Amino acid sequence: MSVTTIDRTLAASLLPARSPRGNKGTFGRVLLVCGSRTMVGCCVLAAEGALRSGAGLVTIAFPDVLTGALTSRLTETLFLPLPTGADGGFSEAALPALLKASDAADVTAAGCGIGRGAGAQAVTGALLAHGKKPLLLDADALNCLSERMFLLDETARPILLTPHPGEMARLCGTTAAQIEADRVAAATDFCNRHNATLLLKGHETIVAQNDDLRVNTTGNSGLAKGGSGDLLTGLIAGLAAQTGDWFSAASLGAYLHGLAADLTAAELGAYAMLPTDCASRLGQAFLTLEGNAD
């Protein structure tokens, strides 16, 4: 097993090339599948992360009950409102349009705030079963997956999973305490058993793929707030739309996300900082790396 530290030098080397002749299509198309009646902010934060990643086009697919709330808060995304189910999440009637949009995107990221009802289960299963383009599963999509792990092993898509310890425990059929007791072993064992790249959140976030494992060096306790993971999901998805590589995108995304948090904590402190504050400092984080890129 190869273990590498994600430091500034490595992160700078992973920055996607940015051609001066590029256009919106050049820099990738991202589809974010997120939200439910009680989970609006996750959509905004995931969109912020993807928009600030450098991706060319970001589409957000969401239950249409959220249309007014999202169109009043987001200006740079494309909107794909889809039928809402009785529980306030996606209806199964959303699947045809959702899968068509996923086919058109370079990368799809699903799960933030979608709930665990029948619609969320259908969305997660359909995305895994349909298509061959990269798919990121986070949050509620991971909880849906944990009940049908065979879908992970049968999918034709390159998969990135981004669990926190509790979600990781559900995926592995164990406890969060056991995951935290040996995070490296948990990540390595999971990648050896399943066809996926893994980002295990927490202090010194781990990114694992096959026998390669990277440990992040940025971030602080101010990230331990709801919404931080949604921002990370969007950021990584946007980076992957440009690189086509989950391992690189997850490694770079973890570093930039943590660096933005460190910049925020230096100014506002870990107690009061918010994920929206971190989003606004992603540009500064990118500039820090660009100064070290070859």
DSSP string, 225-262: STTHHHHHHHHHHHHHHHH--HHHHHHHHHHHHHHHHH
Beta bridge partners of 78: 59
Can you give the pLDDT at residue 184? 96
Share of the chain above pLDDT 70, in %: 99
DSSP 173: T
The pLDDT of residue 293 is above 80: no
Q: If pLDDT is split at 50, 70 and 90, which confidence band does 292 have?
A: low
- Is 19 domain-assigned? no
Note the pLDDT tens digit of each residue in 231-250: 999 999 999 999 999 999 99
Q: Which of 113, 101, 61, 102 is nearest to 231 (CA)?
A: 113
Residue 181, domain CATH: 3.40.1190.20
Note the pLDDT tens digit of each residue in 198-231: 999 999 999 999 889 999 999 999 999 999 999 9
| Boundaries of domain holding 90 | 2-14+24-290
State the Cα–Cα distance between residues 183 and 176, nearest whole angstrom: 10
Domains contained in the chain, number: 1
Q: If pLDDT is split at 50, 70 and 90, which confidence band does 259 have?
A: very high
Helix, strand and coil percent figures for the chain, each rounded to 5: 50, 15, 35
State the Cα–Cα distance between residues 62 and 132, nearest whole angstrom: 22
State the Cα–Cα distance between residues 216 and 250, nearest whole angstrom: 10
Q: Are 166 and 203 in contact (CB under 8 A)?
A: no
Place of tokens 């049968």: 154
Q: Are 254 and 211 in contact (CB under 8 A)?
A: no
- Is 230 domain-assigned? yes
Neighbours of 104 (CB within 10 A): 13
Token pair for residue 111?
């799960």
Average pLDDT taken over every residue of the chain: 96
The pLDDT of residue 173 is above 90: yes
The pLDDT of residue 4 is above 80: yes
The C-alpha torsion from 271 through 273 and 275 to 279, rounded to 10°, is -150
Q: What is the pTM of this model?
A: 0.98
